[in-house]
């Protein structure tokens, strides 16, 4: 049986391994977040991961592994589900305003409760499909763990990326075939291999920027 002390120790060692330094208060918030997911998961089926120890590694540390590569002050988390990676990133970066977007009302309800219980004034939960968002919205970072295909992600979420912003896709194995199909409106900046403590298998972060000819964005380019 995993006890809270074991999770705290695992969190500390995991944060050190991925190079993320947090205050004691924010470490405690991450542990509270794991407890919330475990509690709500019994009824809402937020994730197929059932053990808190695996939630810590496969969700929280996996989310925070991208933190060193997240620049800017506004982030849109598309298909956020249980608030991943948005909530861990918001805890690690209190200066970052995070919008969690999910079309599943139950998951959005969980996100809203987590925002309240964890006291996260920099997080907003929105229950909608990405296609239904205000088309004038722009974010410094648009990220997702949920899209299975880079082409679909770029087409659906790319319009909400600021002209000098970053489109970030969290992937498993190196997505060579998908990279070849990325629409011409965006270009690959780099693909970063991630080493997440406690997670077997490959993890990668694909970072994309608007192609120079598309730097004005869709609304400005058509004006």
What does the pLDDT look like over 122-148, one tens digit per residue?
A: 999 999 999 999 999 999 999 999 888
**What percent of the chain is predicted at pLDDT more than 70?**
94
Whether this prediction's pTM lies above 0.85 is answered by: yes
Higher confidence at residue 5 or residue 9? Answer: 9
220, pLDDT greater than 50: no
Backbone angles phi, psi at 28, to 5 degrees: -65, -40
Q: What is the DSSP letter of 191?
A: E
Query: Mean pLDDT over all residues of the chain?
Result: 93
In this prediction, residues 22-39 reach a mean pLDDT of: 97
Give tens-digit pLDDT for 67-108: 999 999 999 999 999 999 999 999 999 999 999 999 999 999
The domain segmentation of the chain, as residue ranges, is 4-221
pLDDT for 215 = 52
- The two beta strands, 97-102 and 74-78, are parallel
pLDDT at 222 > cutoff 50: no
What 3-state class would DSSP assign to 189?
strand
> What topology is assigned to 4-221 in CATH?
Rossmann fold (3.40.50)
């Amino acid at each position: 049986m995993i006890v809270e002390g074991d999770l705290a120790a695992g969190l500390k060692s995991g944060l050190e391994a991925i190079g993320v330094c947090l205050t004691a208060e924010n470490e405690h918030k991450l542990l509270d977040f794991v407890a919330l997911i475990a509690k709500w998961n019994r009824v809402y089926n937020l994730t197929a991961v059932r053990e808190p120890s695996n939630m810590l590694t496969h969700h929280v540390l996996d989310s925070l592994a991208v933190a060193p590569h997240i620049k800017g002050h506004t982030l849109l988390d598309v298909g956020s589900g249980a608030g991943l990676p948005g909530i861990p990133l918001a805890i690690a970066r209190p200066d970052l305003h995070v919008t969690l977007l999910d079309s599943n009302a139950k998951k959005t309800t969980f996100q809203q409760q987590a925002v309240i219980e964890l006291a996260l004034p920099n997080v907003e939960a929105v229950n909608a499909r990405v296609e239904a968002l205000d088309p004038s919205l722009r974010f410094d970072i648009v990220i997702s763990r949920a899209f299975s295909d880079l082409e679909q992600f770029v087409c659906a979420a790319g319009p909400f990326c600021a002209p000098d912003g970053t489109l970030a896709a969290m992937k498993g194995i190196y997505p060579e075939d998908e990279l070849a199909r990325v629409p011409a409106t965006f270009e690959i900046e780099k693909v970063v291999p991630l080493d997440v403590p406690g997670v077997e298998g490959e993890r990668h972060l694909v970072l994309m920027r608007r192609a120079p000819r598309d730097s004005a964005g869709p609304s400005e380019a058509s004006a």
